[in-house]
Amino acid sequence: MKLDELGLILEQRREKLQLRQADLSEMSGVNVRTIIQLEKGQGNPSFITLEKLLNILGLEIGVELKKTSE
């Protein structure tokens, strides 16, 4: 998944829950500037940051690892 796709998902879910970016920041402990960047598809979030946001938003990370060469 690309960062811009992730950003759109985060923004849509946050809005569906009727949360402002500041609300999500306060609830998760993630800086509001980081949330704004992520929703714009920018930045390089850590798994810990994503986990904090996704837990509040009721979303999960799904990871699929594939071997691409021998």
Query: Residues 9-40: pLDDT tens digits?
Result: 999 999 999 999 999 999 999 999 999 999 99
Higher pLDDT, 34 or 3: 34
DSSP string for 13-53: HHHHTT--HHHHHHHH---HHHHHHHHTT-S---HHHHHHH
Confidence of residue 70 (pLDDT cuts 50, 70, 90): low
Phi then psi dihedrals of residue 48, to 5 deg = -65, -45
Domains annotated for the chain, with CATH where assigned, are: 3-57 (1.10.260.40)
pLDDT > 90? residue 55: yes
